Structure formats: C-alpha cells, structure tokens
Chains A and B, each alone.
Chain A
Amino acid sequence: MADEQISVSQLLDDLAIKILVVEPGDLSAVGDLLEVSEKLLGHAEVVDKPVLAKMADAFKKALEAVIMGEIPDSPENFDRLGQAVSLMQEVNRDDAADPHAFTALLTAMGYSVDPADFGGVEMDSSDAEASGAEEEIDTRFLADPELLTAFIEEADEHLNSVESNILALEKSPDDSEIINTIFRSFHTIKGIASCTDLDRISHLAHATENLLDEVRNNRLALDQAATDVVLAVCDRLERMVENVQVVFEKGVDHFVNYQVDDLIAQVGEVMAGADRQVLPEAETPPAACSVKEEAPAETDRAGEAVEPPTEEKIDLGSGDIPDFMQDADLVAGFIAEAFEHLETIEANVLELEQAPDDIDIINNIFRPFHTIKGVSGFLNLTTINKLAHSTENLLDDVRNNKLPMSADTIDVVLGVGDYLRNMVQNLSDMLEQGPAVYKEFDISEWIAKIETLQQGGDLAADAAGDQEKEPAASAPPAPSQPPVSPAQPPAAQAQTATASPRPAAAPAAPPSGSAAPAKQKIGASIKVDVEKLDGLVNAVGELVIMQAMVRQNPLITDISDPKLNKDFGQLSRITTELQKTAMSMRMVPIRQTFQKMTRLVRDLSKKSGKQVDLVMEGEETEIDRNMVDSIYDPLVHMMRNSVDHGVQVPHEREAVGKPAKGTVKLAAYHKGGNIIIEIHDDGQGLNTDKIRAKAIDRGLMNASDNVSDHEVNNMIFLPGFSTADKITDVSGRGVGMDVVKKGVEKLRGKVELISTPGEGTQFLMRLPLTLAIIDGIIVRVGEERYIIPTIAVQESIRPRAEHYKTVQGQGETLMIRDSLIQVIRLSHVFDVENSCARLTEGIVVVVENEGRQRALLVDELLGKQEVVIKSLGGYLKDIKGLAGGTILGDGRVGLILDLAGLIVASEAKEPFVLQHGREEKDAASFEEETTT
C-alpha cells in the first residue's frame, strides 16, 4: 500500500511535468499523458482514494476528448489541465481539495463533468464504489449519443431475433445453429452494452451468454425452465433498452432503476441445477454477479496486478480455467492477437539490440505488452496479465530512462515473450482440447528477474547472460524528459557504441538499413476480409477475359475507327493495371519471416558457441500472404544447417584464415516472375566426396558414372538420404533436407544447393510469387483440357514405338534417355472419352514429383499460360489428382493437375486394358518392329 501511495505521488509529479512541456498539436505527447493518467487511475483505486480516482478518470476522459479532437488542444486548455493536475496533487496530499474547482476547470475546456460524481463519492466514501457505479449508470451512457443510438438499434434487432429464434428452437431443440445465433446475439448485446457503459444490461446479457454457452457445448439441456429464463431475460432487456431510449430522448428523470440480480440469480440456478460435467470451480454465474457488485473491472485488474506473486499463484487455478471456458470466442481472438503481438515484440527486441536507445523501438515493445496485459486482464487470465504487466512496468522504467536497456533486460524480455507464447499456446490447446490439457505456469521466476532488474540488480551471474557484460550504468535518470518526441533523443545516445558486441548482432552498418524501413512501414492500412479480396480478384479476372472476348468479336475487329481502337487499347491497359493491383493486394513484404530468422540465428550461435552475423537483404521483397507461413519451415531447416554445420567454430575459422565471426547472408529478390531466397554461409562447404561415397553405397549411382559435383551435392535433398546419420556427422549436411525439398515443392518451387569447398554453401530457393497463379502447360485429352504445372515438367516428346515397353503385358513404360518411365494415360485415369488410344498418336509429358518420374500421355499440347488457381469449391474438394480449376481464355473452366495425387490415383486405378485387341496388336507389332 505504501508503495502504491508513493507511486501515485510520483505519477502525479510526472503528469505535472509532462503537461508543462506538451506542445499543442503533439498528439503522441498527449497519448503519453493519457497512459500516465490511466496508471494513476489504477493506482488511486488501489490506495482507496475514490475522489482522486474519480478525478483521474475525468482527467483521463478529458485527455481522450482532446485526442479525439472534441476539445481543442489549445495552450489555454493545457493550462487548465495543468491546474487540474495540481488540484489532484492537493487531493492526494490531504484529501480535502474542492472537487468543484476541478469540474469547473474541465467544464471550462468544453468537457462536461457532473459534479455530482464527486459529491456522491465524498458523501459516502465507505460504499464509494458501489454507489458511485450506480450514479454513473445515469450519466455515463448518455455521454455518446451516437454510440447509444447504435446500441438501441442493434439491441432491439438482436432481442427480436433472439425471441424468434427461441421459438424456432422449441420446435427443433437440437439445432446447434440456432443456439449459436442466439448466443451470438447475447454476446453482441453484452459487448455493445459494456462499450456504452450500460453495466447492468451487459451483466445480464453476459450471464445469459454463459448459460447458452453451456447449452451449445452440450453441457446443459435447453429445457423448459432454461427457455423460460432466457425469454424472461429477453423481456427484461427489452424493457431496459426501451427505457434507455426514453431516457435518451426525454431526460434522466425518466430513468427506471431496473434490477437484474434476480434474473442473473435465476440464470445461475438453471446452470447450477443442471446435471453437467462441472469444471472444478463452477463459479460461472456468481462470477457474473460479483463483478457487478464489486468495483469496475479496471479496479480488479490494477489490484490484481500489484499483488505479490505468492497470492497470484493461488489464484491461478481458479482464475484461468473457468473464465477461459466461458468466453471461447473472446479467448480465441485474444490468442490470435497475442501471437501477433509476441511476434512484434520479438522482432522489435532484436532490433533494439542494435540500437538500445531507440525510444521508438522501446515503445513498439511496450505497446504490445500493454495490449496483452489489457486484454488478458479483461479475460481474467491472471497469470498472463501479471507477467505482461510486470514486463510492461520494466519497459516503462526503461523508456523513462530509469533503467538502462541492458543485455540482461533484452534477454529477460525475450524470455518473457517466449514464456508468454507458451502460455498462450496452452490456452489455445485448451480451447481445442478442453481444460484437461491445462498446464500450470510458474511465472514467479520471471517476475523475480524483472524485479531484480528494476532494482538495478545484475543478472550477470545468470547462465543465460554469461557472454555479455552489462553496459556501464548508462543514462542518468532523467524523469522529466518526455521520452516520446524523437526530436529529443535521450542523452545516452553515445552509449550505443559501448553496448557490448553480441554474437548474433549484425554489423554496425546494416542495422540502419534494416531497422529504418521497418519504421517507415507504419503507414495507413486497413484489414480486409480475404473473401472480399478474392471476390475482387475474381471479378477483375473475369473482366480481363470478357474484355478479350469482346475484342475478338469479328464485329469489333472489323472496326477501323482509330478513335475506338485507341480507346480499346486504353481500356485494356486499365484492366491490366487493375488486375495487377488486385493481385498485389495479397502481397506482403517477406520481412516478418526474415526477422524470425534473426532470433533463430541468435539462439543457434549462442548454443553452438559460434559467432555468426546474419546479414539480410531485400526484406522488402513481396510475397503472397498465404505463402508466408509455408516458407517458414524450409527456411528454418536451411538456416539451421548453415549455422550448425556450415559455419565453423571460431578457432577453426581462424586456422584457415577466415575472420572468427562467420557470416550468413539471407537475401530475397524477384527474378523472372519468381521470388528467389538465398542463404549463403561462408563456412566450409559440403564434403562432396563423402556424399558421393554415400550415394554409391546406397546404389543411387555407380562409381564409374560421370556425375558432376553439383549433382552429387544436390543428392542431399533426396528423401531418406538426408536423415542418414553418417552424412550429418561427417560433412555436416542433411538434417531435414528432404523436408525442405518437400516443403518447397508443395509451394511449386525448387531448391538448389551450390557448394564451394572451403568457401561456403549457398541455398537457392526459387518460389512462385503467389500461390494464386500458376504457370502451366495446357494439354488436351479427348475434349477436356488440363493444366500441368510447368515447374514439374521436364520434357515433352512424341513417343516412338521402339521406346514402348510393357511389363506383364499391362504396365506401360517408355524408355526415354536410358531411363524407364511409367506411363500414365490421363484419359484412362480420368475416364475421358474420345482420346487417342494409341500411344504413338499422342504426346507424353514427362513430369517429376518428389523424385518420381512419370510420362503423362495426352492428345495434344495447347500452349503455356499463367493461370489463376481457383478452388473447386467446398462441394468438390479433395479430388485425387486435381489441384483446382481455372478460367481459361475462352471463359471455360480448365482443371489443374495435382501430380502427387495423380500418381496415387493412377496406382489405385485398375491397369489400363489394351482394349478391343487393337492396341494389343499394335503393341505386339511394336515389339516385332523393335525385335526385327
């Protein structure tokens, strides 16, 4: 408590100073003020100073209004805010300042505050929170008329739909879709009500939502009693919403004080009375009530956060599980967001290593923690909340220059990030598999570390931090300095250079190149539903096709009017441009994926005692959003190889005259419609002789074969070859290389390896820019057209009779360039009629997939084209041998072959029977021809 009191004073001082230096128009500074006042609010509530809390709350809201532009950010207003702060300081000292002066100040700014808020609190401070909350119900929800109107409309709509759905449900009680709809309605009502500060409506809706959640998870039957309660809730809510509207239109006098406790209790009874598989703590309905009676949620959060860790752990079991199960939707949202935030954190922390004093980066780390803290607090995920909160505090100290950004701090923040990720992962597991998989996380260790750091302690003894020394106590505490403005960099700028060199650190030059663009990128962007985007791409694709068809119409081609022809030219340029733009909207820079590698290299080199510089190039290179996740795994395997096996340990390197610190270069660029990703290490290169020996040993080649070193090196990608123990031990290559190859092929890409003994190894990964477009060869089989992905095609030839061999009279093969390749008759596998029955009349396309070669027999090659891949839709998914469809130039659908599936399908199919004796005879005559 004493600590809190001190920090309240500190916060007020901080606020007073900051407000002095705020410049009108500097919204980020105001944002900073807002954050401080938020903290003040939290702490004031903890130290039980309701008046101060109220003031802080009003102050905070006034700041929000300034940010929103509702109040002009004039110097006068900042003066008033300053005076308001001094009033708050007075209140903090003796609890006896005049709140009316405070409200007058804010009112003068154009921000209306109800003095009754403060008066009510003073009158009855023992019951302050409860009565305060009641008073607020009257006024707070009226603060934003627009929000309120929206709420009334939506709530009405939802309540109506709930009612009709419940009636529908009575007829078909097992229809989960209806239950879901009702659930969603209550969920929405809950959400918007709490936004609008209509706490009671929100609580009632929340309790009902919990009930319905039980129902939809089949833990509770929706019997007569339950239905009645839900209907009763509906009626009550309807009346409450109606009253809100009346109050809104006619004034507060018409406010009817509806109670909701009775109904919440009823909901609780229904839930408790049912025979369900109860979670250890079935505190669902009481929780809903208690939230209401206690202070607003914010108080809870702040209160919890400052409790000592010992209490925390007791809380943990009962806190996380049940609440977590209640709000599955919200939790799912939180999980997705948290992962994103943790990624941001990691990327920024690594950047921070290069520029420890960059306040912007610290802010970029601070904010995600802040968000995680906020949301987890809201969801009652107390352990996560607590850990995020502590880290946030630590970072706050750093950005306020109370603490140096030492190597230890970075390690701790990274460690916390990882730990949080595990915790969130566990949440996600629980969401999928139920509470049984709940794992207990002990955060006390991290909290202790953070506290040590905050007290200026040194974790150097810690094993993790052994290689670095903490930079000499840097930046003197200068709390008066507003840390936001980049124009005033902290005094400790010079310290950057002294930050000890770290193994994974990039050289001094690149960071400016790699770090700077990251910041520029924070431009305006909007999130768009992928479906809408696909719709746009579809429509544009169709536009292009239609335009081509119109232009090819003989009536049009005959037109000789130059103006019209010119216009057509213009039209086609615009449509092409439009198509390009539409496609590019799916593209994102590859930076994010690359940044994950920074971490990987850092950890790997630390572990293996090597010194490795990671140099990145071309992080701006854009790649299809859908591919980002898929390239991660292959990339990790290749990076791991380069660091683990490519780069030697320092003394070995020095022995061969190389600098002790190795370099791994990761580069991306566009080339010929592909994206190329290069990983280049300056290590020892592959031991080609050993690989050759191994290949001969495994019968992949003969000792006498004239196979180039390059081909031999690339054998490490062969399945089975890579996992072989010897290669890994001897030459150090091959862990998971077939994984790489498979992953890359799945993306319709290719991977290649170039090794120069003694100088290093280079991986070249060639990937299509997008998964949405495929470069294909269009073939005709009978009257059908199929598209074969070009990347898999090795050659196409017209087979000659003497190359045709059968096995047991059925298995057809072709001898092409000394290798025997099985023939797949597309017409047979796909049951196409009217296809040429004779091999020699058609054309075979030799394709390769996962090391297997096949010759596809088709009637004709029609051309090569880039086509947009479309799914065949939910109805026809997973057809063996087909990767999807596409719209061809004439507007018809063409089917794209999936070679892996096709090979499987052809093997599953009964063998091709040489029908009517014709082919048989032909085959026989081939044989004769060849033998004679």
Chain B
Amino acid sequence: MNESQALPLQSNLPNLDVSGLKSIYRQMVLIRRVEELAAKAYTQRKILGFCHLYIGQESVAVGAAAATSDDYWITAYREHGQAMAKGVSARAMMAELFGKRTGSSKGQGGSMHIYDKESKFMGGYGIVGAHVPLATGIAWAAKQRKEGRVCVCFFGDGAANQGAFFEALCLAQLYKLPVVFICENNFYAMGTPLHRQSAVTDMSLRALGVGMAREQFEGFDAEVVRDRVGAAAEFARSGQGPVLLEIITYRHRGHSMSDPAKYRPDGELDEKKKSDPLAITKERLTQDFNVSEEEIQAIHDSVEVEAQDAWDFAESSEIPDPANLYDFTYAPDGS
C-alpha cells in the first residue's frame, strides 16, 4: 500500500527580509482595496454579472505567489486576488470587470475568466472543479518539456466534491505530475457549510485514496503560506509527485455580490476577522521589523492611488469594438 509521503519540514526559500514582507503586505492591501472598489462599482452597475470577492483570503494568493512566482497558476472563479498576486495589473483586472477592451481578456471573459499568458496565469474557471484536470495537463507539458515549473491549482472546499477533482488527483499521482493542488477551505460552498457538504471535513484527506502527499494548515499568515507552498512546490518540482494542500481560510463577504451571507452563525464573521491576514502581517511588520505607522500609512496611500487609477483607467477605457465580435471563436491558422 502506498503511504502519503511527507513534505519537507521547511521550504528552502530564503527568509523574508523587511522589504519582502512589505511587498507582500502591499500586495494584500492592494487586492483588498481593488476588491472593495469592485464591490462599489458593482452596486453602481459598472460591473455586471457574477462577482465573487476574495476579501479575507488575500494571504493565500499572495503567500503562494511569493513561493511560485515563475510557475503556472490556474484557479476557479473567485480569482481576482490570485490574478493580481500572480502579476495581472490592477488596471487590466478592473478594466476586464468593467467589460472594456483594455481588460485582461479584452472584455471577453469578465470577473470569472481573468487570464494573463505573460505571468503564466492560466485562467479563472466557472464550472466548479472542472479546471482541476487542466492543471494536470499544464503540469504534463511542464514535465515533458523539462521546464522545472510546477502548476499551482487553486479551488475551494466545494470543488473537492466534484468528480473532475478526484479524476485529476488520480491522474496527477499516477503520472507523478508536478502539481500543487491548493484547496482553499473557506468553509462555505456557496451557502452550504462544510459539514453539510462533506462527511470528512479535513479536505486534505482526499489525497490519501490516491497515495498523494498532503498537508493542512491555517493560511491567515502570508509568511506561513509562502513557506508551506514553497515546501510543496519543491517537493513537486523535484519529481516526487503532486501535493494536496488544504489551506484554512475565510471569506469576509458572501459567495457573490448578490449574497448577504445570512447563513453564517451569529458572531462567526467577527470572530474570523480577528485573524484578518492584513492585520497579522501588519503586526509582524510593526512589531518584529520595526516598521513605523507612517511607513504603513505610506503603503496604504500608494495603494489608494493605484486602485483609484485602476478605476479611472477602467472607466475611461473604450468598450470592445463590435467589429471584433467573431475574432475570438477560432484561432487563426498557423497559431
């Protein structure tokens, strides 16, 4: 019988210095601010359709990006934060949400389908769990071409009930593919709490059936996420096979903009906000790295400028040209 292999106890990533940690903090603040502006734009009907916010989970994407910046990423529909952490600019993101031709997908994708080939961000997907097999293919290509890259695949606790998820785990382990599967367990599959959607609530145990290495940890501290995702990526990169990480997190908003999240028990959100990723990293900066309140404020000020600039850019950009309607159905010959 195959036992799950153990991950390295620590990643080989160098320790974060103050500038590295400040950069992580700034990225988390930027994601939150852009998401808050997205919420505002949604209420003004500048952003339409479905819109799923990442507020509360920023440490997962930003911590993971600090460990896998040159690797492939693929994810689901709550992907604004991940897209920005991986390299999509606030401008391109916001313009896509506004449905403009300057958006990351030229207004073809929208909130759930942000892509950026340049930063190896292979997209957000709207069929829950269905993108997980795609991650195995990306890793297949990386392995065949000896790129030394892994594919980091994010999904939620809800997706871990889908057949596509299980099939992907089986294939990845069978072929020893370099995939880091990250189950972001935010405890709700839309409005259904974890214990009502899965008999086993430690989602990392899903790895045992296929003999895959696994780990479960709390992901509110971006430094911890960086270290553990780094360890998993090293494991996968070394050819030992894929890893399933379950990262405990929490979303502060509803499933989407139209969900007031009334299904949460009283007090749960307030309790979880005590482990707000931004507060944790801020405290680390101020207490362990002697970063002053003025420096923290300067980060927030520069984020405010960048986020407002993204809004202005999105608002002033042109809508897609109807003449290009048919240009995105088939790739031209030779491509």
> Do A and B make up one complex?
no
A residues neighboring B (CB under 8 Å): none
